[in-house]
């Protein structure tokens, strides 16, 4: 049996595949809108393993599998033997012998890698402490729908150098855009990842300089899941990097802004931007559904 195809970071797909995936996601979105059947995965079962909370990821994967003619089962790591110390490798062998595809949201990225190494079926990273590649599929679909190709554009990341920021670094390389990361010292993304992408990615401490002329501004919470104890220090350290109207006014005239959600209004983004009728943030959230359906089709092809 050939080894399964995993999606642990964006580096698991090529530029051509990324473009094809977005194209298919747009197509699946249209089919969904018209109510036309697109049950390409009839009878397929997804196991969804969650060690962290989720709204969008759970709903989009579960609804997506169902709309493609398959089904999905929610497995909280707390309620399975994973939460009682059964080795990840053993769990992977067993779970992957019963389902067609697995999605995992957890803390250590190495845990998803271990699961994938021992899985007979494709494994999708649905967020780890280090990466959130599924969100980038949706973000990039949203950009393509509104503005076309990403190549040559400038993206300004504002705030914490977190899992989302890391996935933006990977996306910059694959889709060939420039990424300016505006963050405070002490909140930088992974140094090795930065170093490996120096030609397209740079740190800029001044958020105004970073936002000036940018085509897309992106932010995310300042304290990610698992960092709740650091909330006060993080809020204080990252306060100058709030995405607000003044910063948006410095960006390109037709700039878009995104947030993967959940958002903290008044912290990393202001309420007026969240609620602005021209915001694409809600399309971005919805596109999780369509982009991941295209991803599942790709991995199970
Ligand atoms: N953006 C995102 O992954 O949302 P959830 O945490 O609600 O899944
Ligand atoms: N950086 C955030 C993203 C949530 C979707 C977190 O990891 O909590």
pTM of the complete model beyond 0.95: yes
Q: Is residue 99 domain-shared with residue 224, that is, in the same domain?
A: no
Residue nearest to atom 4 of ligand 1 (CA): 56
The chain-wide mean pLDDT, for the chain, equals 98
Ligand nearest to the CA of 53: 1
220 CA closest ligand 2 atom index: 1
- Cα–Cα dist 42/19, whole Å: 25
φ/ψ region of 210 (left if φ > 0, alpha if ψ in -120 to 50, else beta) reads alpha
Average pLDDT over residues 2-25: 97
- Cα–Cα dist 54/142, whole Å: 21
Q: Residue 2: pLDDT band by 50, 70, 90 thresholds?
A: confident
3-state secondary structure of 48: strand
- Cα–Cα dist 212/201, whole Å: 16
Q: For residue 75, give the nearest of 45, 108, 51 by alpha carbon.
A: 51
Distance (angstroms) between ligand 2 centre and the Cα of 1 equals 36
Q: What's the pLDDT at 55?
A: 98
Rounded to whole angstroms, what are the CA distances from 11 to 33, 34, 169, 176?
A: 31, 33, 11, 13
Ligand nearest to the CA of 167: 2
Q: Residue 148: pLDDT band by 50, 70, 90 thresholds?
A: very high
Average pLDDT over residues 182-206: 98
Rounded to whole angstroms, what are the CA distances from 284 to 3, 104, 154, 163?
A: 32, 21, 18, 17
Give Rg (Cα) of the chain. Answer: 19
What 8-state DSSP symbol labels residue 219? E
Q: Is residue 80 domain-shared with residue 175, that is, in the same domain?
A: no
Q: Is residue 41 domain-shared with residue 175, that is, in the same domain?
A: no
Length of the chain: 301
Ligand nearest to the CA of 287: 1
Q: Residue 286: pLDDT band by 50, 70, 90 thresholds?
A: very high
Does a structural domain hold residue 296? Answer: yes
Q: Is residue 222 domain-shared with residue 176, that is, in the same domain?
A: yes
What 8-state DSSP symbol labels residue 212? T
Residue nearest to atom 6 of ligand 2 (CA): 224
Close Cβ partners of 144 (under 8 Å, ≥ 6 residues apart): 22, 26, 150
pLDDT tens-place string over residues 198-216? 999 999 999 999 999 999 9
Q: Residue 1: pLDDT band by 50, 70, 90 thresholds?
A: low
Number of separate domains in the chain: 2
Instruction: Establish whether residue 165 lines the binding site of ligand 2, counting it when its CB lies within 6 angstroms of any ligand atom.
Output: no
Q: Is residue 139 domain-shared with residue 237, that is, in the same domain?
A: yes
Instruction: Establish whether residue 260 lines the binding site of ligand 2, counting it when its CB lies within 6 angstroms of any ligand atom.
Output: yes
Does a structural domain hold residue 44? Answer: yes
Average pLDDT over residues 46-60: 98
Q: Is residue 292 domain-shared with residue 274, that is, in the same domain?
A: no
Cα angle, residue 263 at apex, residues 261 and 265 outer, rounded to 5°: 155
Does a structural domain hold residue 4? Answer: no
Does a structural domain hold residue 95? Answer: yes
Question: Are 288 and 60 within 8 A, CB to CB?
Answer: yes
Does a structural domain hold residue 141? Answer: yes
Does a structural domain hold residue 35? Answer: yes
Q: Is residue 217 domain-shared with residue 230, that is, in the same domain?
A: yes
Q: Is residue 227 domain-shared with residue 164, that is, in the same domain?
A: yes
- Cα–Cα dist 299/218, whole Å: 28
Q: Is residue 201 domain-shared with residue 248, that is, in the same domain?
A: yes
Q: Is residue 148 domain-shared with residue 127, that is, in the same domain?
A: no
Q: Is residue 263 domain-shared with residue 201, that is, in the same domain?
A: yes
Distance (angstroms) between ligand 2 centre and the Cα of 158 equals 14
Does a structural domain hold residue 180? Answer: yes
Residue nearest to atom 6 of ligand 1 (CA): 54
**Active site positions, annotated:** 105, 132, 135, 220, 260, 288
Q: Which two tokens stand for residue 127?
A: 């967020």
pLDDT at 265 over 80: yes
> % helix / strand / coil in the chain, to the nearest 5?
45, 15, 40
Residue nearest to atom 3 of ligand 2 (CA): 224
Q: Is residue 117 domain-shared with residue 156, that is, in the same domain?
A: no
Which domain CATH number covers 295? 3.40.50.1370
Average pLDDT over residues 62-83: 96
Does a structural domain hold residue 111? Answer: yes
Q: Residue 82: pLDDT band by 50, 70, 90 thresholds?
A: very high
Average pLDDT over residues 262-279: 98
* Domain, as residue range, for 75: 10-131+287-300
């Amino acid at each position: 049996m050939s080894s399964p195809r995993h999606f642990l970071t964006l580096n698991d797909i090529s530029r051509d595949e990324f473009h094809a995936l977005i194209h298919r996601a747009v197509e699946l979105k249209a089919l969904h809108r018209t109510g036309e059947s697109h049950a390409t995965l009839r009878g397929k079962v997804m196991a969804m393993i969650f060690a962290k909370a989720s709204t969008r990821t759970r709903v989009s994967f579960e609804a997506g599998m169902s709309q493609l003619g398959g089904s999905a089962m929610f497995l909280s790591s707390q309620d399975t033997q994973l939460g009682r110390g059964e080795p990840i490798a053993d769990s992977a062998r067993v779970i992957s012998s019963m389902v067609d595809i697995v999605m995992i949201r957890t803390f250590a990225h190495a845990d998803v890698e271990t699961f994938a190494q021992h899985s007979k079926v494709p494994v999708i990273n649905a967020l780890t402490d280090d990466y959130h590649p599924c969100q980038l599929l949706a973000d990039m679909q949203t950009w393509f729908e509104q503005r076309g190709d990403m190549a040559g554009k400038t993206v300004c990341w504002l705030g914490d150098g977190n899992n989302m920021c890391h996935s933006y670094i990977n996306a910059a390389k694959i889709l060939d855009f420039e990424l300016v990361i505006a963050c405070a010292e002490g909140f930088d993304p992974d140094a090795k990842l930065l170093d490996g992408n120096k030609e397209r990615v740079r740190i800029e401490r001044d958020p105004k300089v970073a936002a000036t002329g940018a085509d897309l501004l992106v932010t995310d919470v300042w304290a990610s899941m698992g960092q709740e104890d650091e909330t006060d220090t993080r809020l204080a350290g990252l306060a100058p990097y709030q995405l607000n109207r003044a910063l948006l006014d410095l960006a390109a005239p037709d700039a878009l802004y995104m947030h993967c959600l959940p958002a903290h209004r008044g912290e990393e983004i202001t309420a007026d931007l969240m609620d602005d009728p021209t915001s694409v943030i809600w399309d971005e959230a919805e596109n999780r559904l369509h982009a991941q359906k295209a991803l599942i089709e790709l991995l199970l092809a």
